[in-house]
Amino acid sequence: STRPRRCYRRPTSRLQDWYCTVPGEGGPKTRHAHRRPASARLLGTSAMAGDDLKSARVHPFARLIAKYPMQMVGAMFLVFFVLSFIGGNAVEVTFGTPSGRNAYSPTDARATQRLDMYIVAQDTIEVKSESAERQTSSIPGFTLIFEEETPSGEPDLSKDIFSPANLEYILRAQEVITKNENYTNYCLRCPTEDSVTCKRATKAYNRALDLETAIQTGEGEAGAVNDALSAAEALCDIVPDTCRIKKCVQDVKQLIADGASNETTIVDTQDCIVLGAKLAKEGACGDLPGCEGASAKKPKCQPAYSPLNYFYDFDKEKFNSRKSSFKKLDNEIDSPKAEDIPDRVSVYPANFFLPRYYKRDDLESHTTRLTVLLGLPLEGYEDANDRTDEQETEVNAWMISVYPELEALRLEIDAAKPGLKLRWLSNNEVINDYFNTILFFDLAAVFGAIIFVGFYIRVHTGSTFLAGMCLLGVILCFPVGCFWTIVVFRVRFFDPLNVFLLFVLLGLGADGVFIVFDAWEQSKAGLDYWTEAHGEDALAVRMSYVWRRASRAMMACNGTTALAFIAVIPSPIMPMASFGILSAFTIIHNWILDVTLVPALILLWDKHLRKNRLCCCLPRPPPSGEPAKLCGLVDDPCAEARTSTSSEVSPARDAKDEGAGGTASHARKGLNRTEKFFRDTYAPLVLKWKVPMLVCSTAFVAVMIYYASLLRADTESPQFLPDNHPLWKAIVGLRDGWKEGESEERGELWMVWGVAGNDASNFTKFDFGQAECNEGPCGEVIWEPSFDPAPVSMQKYLLNSCEEAAKISAPNGRGGDFVYDEKISTCLMKSFRGWLRSKDEDFPVEDEDEFWDKMHEFLREPDEDTVAGEGYGDFVQNKLTRLASNEGKRMFFLIQGVFVDYSPQLFYGTSEVLPGLEASFEFEEEWNEEKPEGQPDFFVTTSSGLFTATRMQEAYISSTFQGVATALGFALFSLLVFVANIVVALLAFVCIAGVVCCTLGIMVLQGWALGPIEAICATIVVGFSVDYVVHYALAYVAAPDKKRAERVTFALSEVGISVMAGAITTLGASAFLLVTTLSFFSKFGIFMMSTIAFSLVVANVAFVALLALCGPENDVGDMRIWAKWIMDKAKGRSSDGVDAV
């Protein structure tokens, strides 16, 4: 029949009978339509059509919203504002990376645990200032890099960096720093003869002269050389910068063995030993170029370490001849000979200023660099160790005030001379401030995304009130999540990357608003029936329909997304786990928002604001509860516009929609254009071309699965800036672009004795970086009481360990060795031996009581009347050992080490570090077997976190794929619970897995590897892949018709508009990230857009095609029927009374 009908139900004890009233001749006639088991309510009823089964049974919470919408809105905003205020104030962004310990270091890795033990042990030392004597200490200042480039950004090797025009800019850049009015307060002052360092170097130089005389007058060459070797070792112990002379003496010994003359031996000894001691003395006592006349009463700043020292006469303020200046620089590439020192511009090798490819006599270079060192102590402080943190904070503040001038000059040079590039580097504090400046401008993308999402919500709903209030509620979910994460559960670590959650939240929040709003709008079609059947309770019935439909859909989407983030929590990479916890709480509150605040706001708007809104002559449906003829009233200025644009459904379609089993929501008299497109155009297209659509989708997903399998961990430095950014180019160039020299900063391999563990039982891993943990790892050190350096065997063992560690052999992946030039960085027993020999005393010390007396004297703390011991500065101030107080006979821990050929400022790939890591652990194992009886094992670690960075890369792979697998498992569980149809749930799960593979595959095609941001993206991809597929799955199982084609058509027409709106807002919000400077923002934008695009295509193509081809019909796969059967069996009842629909 094509006559309109109205359907309703009559509940019985076990069945719900449906009846349709058909108008006809002689009055309306009632016909029985079908019966549905009452058990259909198990595990929830269908979200849309089937919800009419419960239309007379109003949900209590929906009734509460319908009765008190204003109070609901006020209460929710009050709670959200209070929690947001508390949570927002609790946020403290963590940046700290103490002693190379990165927050991303995997907490379960042995390398991380050892580094934590080393740091916590050092934190037990309180350093006292050497108040009896001032000490000067250099700290990093600015490094300026100048390079000629082609228009494409490649090095222009044909250009000369030392051209007159370029030298003018180099001078200007250097004087931005050195001519600053406060520079003299922070510069590295010239050393003076009254300093402790000068006194040590003078002693070393005198000893070298004695050594030279001993070789000249010694009886027997072998004895002279042996004496020279011992003296060279003592000299190395006193002044570490002269340690290279030991190798020189060994070379001299080989010359004698080969029959060289005594004269040759003496000459080589002079060039090696005496020169090394002289260089140390000149560097420590002020005999440096530009430091003439410096004294304690008349301090001077050391000149910048700059090529301008060759090309520019600072006294006459004019440039020298380029040819002669470059020749002078070229001649000083190597370390000087003793006789050359008076004529040199610098006592340091000039290769610092030249690129790696430069060869002697080239006299051409396209790039150069200079460095300006700063120093402590500052005025008003006793020495470099007097409140060091305060001094460094003051210096950093000055540098932060200077670098904007460098940036302004850089931009000026870019405009005036495009080929010349100025880049600068500084310490971590300055770089972090510069980074924060970039971050501040990039965060404008967040505001752009918020404005876009708000605008689209306004377009979709037609209400500025709804857009503003709903968006405010969504944004407040973030600080509310911070409240639960930080305040309640004490997860206090807050990574800057947590800002990504705002974009996740905007997408999910807007999706929830669209779902609730569209359900409210679509429910108008049933309003006449509800009003007739339920009278004054019609509004509560309508809200119950909307609430059930929206709450179930949003519980499925938000719940699955939250579970995907929960899957990240077990990750050994702590910031990822912290991100997962914060995300889960935030998304849970977004779901609460969707089922409380949003329905109440929509009801308020519909009742009080909708018909009073400013008219813009857009087609809008009439206010709910009012007859349709309102649209034709004279005082409705939009009536004509609405009438001309409204769409009518044909009588035939009405009849079909209101047939037996039809629903109010599917019988709307007016559909907007998007809904009509999905119902009348796209649904027939899917039903007709389902097989080709599925084949094409499967082929594409198969290709992306192949690329996803190629995803690997990043072996390069994490790139936080674009390739062409000047700061990033400076960092990359610092690693590979320059010649290496003695002045290059290098990391260290530490050997640690006396530390048994780190008791972190009173902390969690999320306390990392907090003030009570010295902004680093938390815990209390566990000492190894059996460590005792006093026995003679242990003294020798500790001394030999330094020598053996320097011989560790492993490639560094860059053509060199893991240990740099077999060079020892610090060795307490070597220095102790040298100190004893300088006093003509023997090593090792036989008597243990005497050993402790001597060690306390060597490491003596300073006080008002006594100067520090000779080893105090090198070992106690540098936190490399700790003695018991009051002359106690105990050393709590000891750290000795060697230099490794890796910069502590750079990141190295696994292939470069792994051989050295394995060789170091092998050395540890072998050397621990040689320890004296009763002594504890030592362990190795690195000062720069070199080993933890390697384990971090391995953790990215394991945690990422483990997180993805866990999230997919959670997704399947959620689908089974919320969809309640095993066939639809499995089809949806296959499509979600396809979206995950497509997104991972596109990451590979983009050239990405798993670093911090990529790992976060990969682990949350499941949560983003779920939403749209879940919406269609819920709509499919809720369809009133039981045939496959009608179900597909129903799903597309009901939620297609919401899916499209949610995708548009998320894509639009993500697009703002593409224009940011920081790479992790732009990468996250690409990831978000890729994931949403794939989710949208797979849901609208592959998934609906699967449903059209093999979606279940009738009650096939309905888990609620199974649940009813199980419950009946459990109660001992027969299931015979259960009728099929």
* Band (644; pLDDT cuts 50, 70, 90): very low
* Band (428; pLDDT cuts 50, 70, 90): confident
For 679-702, what is the mean pLDDT? 93
Residues 6+ apart with CB under 8 A from 277: 201, 204, 205, 207, 208, 209, 235, 239, 242, 245
Q: According to the model, what pLDDT value does residue 747 have? A: 86
SS3 content of the chain, % helix, strand, coil (to 5): 60, 10, 30
pLDDT digits (tens, 9 = 90+) for 273-320: 676 666 666 666 656 667 777 776 777 888 888 999 899 988 888 898
pLDDT digits (tens, 9 = 90+) for 1116-1130: 888 888 888 888 777
pTM score: 0.76
Q: Encoding tokens for residue 1033?
A: 């799955």
Q: Is the model's pLDDT at 658 over the cut of 80? A: no
In this structure, which amino acid lies at residue 1117? Answer: G
Determine the Cα–Cα distance for residues 667 and 49; give it in Å rounded to an integer: 11
pLDDT digits (tens, 9 = 90+) for 346-381: 767 788 898 888 888 888 899 999 999 898 888 888
Task: Return mean pLDDT, the chain.
Answer: 79
Q: 869 has which bridge partners?
A: none
Determine the Cα–Cα distance for residues 627 and 967; give it in Å rounded to an integer: 49
Strand, coil or helix: 260: coil
Determine the Cα–Cα distance for residues 336 and 623; give it in Å rounded to an integer: 91
Question: Can you give the three-state secondary structure of 902-939, one letter per residue?
Answer: CCCCCCCCHHHHHHHHHHHHHHHHHHHCCCCCCCCCCE
- For residue 1138, give Cα distances in angstroms to 35, 36, 55, 1027: 10, 9, 22, 34
Strand, coil or helix: 951: helix
Give the lowest-confidence range in 20-24, 473-477, 578-582. Answer: 20-24
Q: Are 404 and 708 in contact (CB under 8 A)?
A: no
Q: According to the model, what pLDDT value does residue 862 have? A: 75
Q: Is the model's pLDDT at 537 over the cut of 90? A: no
Q: Name which residue leads in pLDDT, 717 or 730.
A: 730
* Band (106; pLDDT cuts 50, 70, 90): confident
CA-only gyration radius of the chain, Å: 38
Determine the Cα–Cα distance for residues 877 and 130; give it in Å rounded to an integer: 10
- In the chain, what is the straight-line distance between the N-terminal and C-terminal CA atoms, in Å? 21
Q: Encoding tokens for residue 858?
A: 């060597």
Determine the Cα–Cα distance for residues 391 and 401; give it in Å rounded to an integer: 16
Length of the chain: 1141
Q: Please state whether beta strands 137-148 and 420-425 pair in parallel, antiparallel, or not at all (unpaired).
A: antiparallel
pLDDT digits (tens, 9 = 90+) for 889-899: 899 999 999 99
Q: Encoding tokens for residue 851?
A: 């050993």
Q: Encoding tokens for residue 759?
A: 């008791």
* Band (218; pLDDT cuts 50, 70, 90): low
Q: According to the model, what pLDDT value does residue 401 have? A: 93
Q: Is the model's pLDDT at 73 over the cut of 70? A: yes
Q: According to the model, what pLDDT value does residue 83 have? A: 95
Determine the Cα–Cα distance for residues 455 and 442; give it in Å rounded to an integer: 21
Q: Is the model's pLDDT at 78 over the cut of 50? A: yes
374 φψ region: left (φ > 0), alpha (ψ -120 to 50), beta (else): beta
**Helices in 487-605 by DSSP H: which ranges?**
500-522, 527-534, 538-566, 574-595, 597-604
- For residue 631, give Cα distances in angstroms to 384, 612, 809: 82, 13, 88
Determine the Cα–Cα distance for residues 725 and 747; give it in Å rounded to an integer: 26
Q: Are 697 and 1095 in contact (CB under 8 A)?
A: no
Q: Is the model's pLDDT at 987 over the cut of 90? A: yes
Question: Can you give the three-state secondary structure of 765-798, one letter per residue?
Answer: HHHCCCHHHCCCCCCEEEECCCCCCCCHHHHHHH
Give the lowest-confidence range in 115-124, 208-217, 700-709. Answer: 208-217
Determine the Cα–Cα distance for residues 372 and 186; give it in Å rounded to an integer: 11
Tell me, rounded to whole angstroms, the distance of Cα 1108 from its chain centroid: 43
Q: Is the model's pLDDT at 768 over the cut of 70? A: yes
Q: According to the model, what pLDDT value does residue 467 have? A: 94
Q: 6 has which bridge partners?
A: 21
Determine the Cα–Cα distance for residues 1000 and 152; give it in Å rounded to an integer: 31
Q: According to the model, what pLDDT value does residue 841 have? A: 87
Q: Name which residue leads in pLDDT, 777 or 240.
A: 777
For 475-504, what is the mean pLDDT? 90
Determine the Cα–Cα distance for residues 129 and 390; give it in Å rounded to an integer: 14
* Band (405; pLDDT cuts 50, 70, 90): very high
Q: According to the model, what pLDDT value does residue 674 have? A: 84
DSSP 533-562: HHGGGHHHHHHHHHHHHHHHHHHHHHHHHH
pLDDT digits (tens, 9 = 90+) for 785-816: 999 999 999 999 999 999 999 999 998 877 78
Percent of the chain past pLDDT 70, that is, above it, reads 76
pLDDT digits (tens, 9 = 90+) for 28-51: 444 444 433 332 322 233 333 434
Q: Are 1027 and 590 in contact (CB under 8 A)?
A: no
Q: Is the model's pLDDT at 631 over the cut of 60? A: no
Determine the Cα–Cα distance for residues 482 and 469; give it in Å rounded to an integer: 21
Q: Name which residue leads in pLDDT, 239 or 723.
A: 723
For 819-830, what is the mean pLDDT? 88
Q: Encoding tokens for residue 411?
A: 């931009």
Q: Are 340 and 407 in contact (CB under 8 A)?
A: no
Highest mean pLDDT among 136-140, 163-167, 1079-1083: 163-167
* Band (549; pLDDT cuts 50, 70, 90): confident
Q: Name which residue leads in pLDDT, 852 or 383.
A: 852
Bond into 684 cis (ω within 30): no
Q: According to the model, what pLDDT value does residue 626 have? A: 45
Tell me, rounded to whole angstroms, the distance of Cα 902 from its chain centroid: 23
Q: Are 861 and 833 in contact (CB under 8 A)?
A: no
For 658-673, what is the mean pLDDT? 45
Q: According to the model, what pLDDT value does residue 740 have? A: 59
Percent of the chain past pLDDT 90, that is, above it, reads 33
Determine the Cα–Cα distance for residues 428 and 775; give it in Å rounded to an integer: 15
Strand, coil or helix: 180: coil
Q: Name which residue leads in pLDDT, 779 or 537.
A: 779
Q: Is the model's pLDDT at 341 over the cut of 60? A: yes
Give the lowest-confidence range in 33-37, 415-419, 745-749, 1079-1083. Answer: 33-37
For 941-961, what is the mean pLDDT? 78
pLDDT digits (tens, 9 = 90+) for 120-138: 888 887 766 544 344 467 7
For 380-394, what is the mean pLDDT? 82
* Band (1091; pLDDT cuts 50, 70, 90): very high
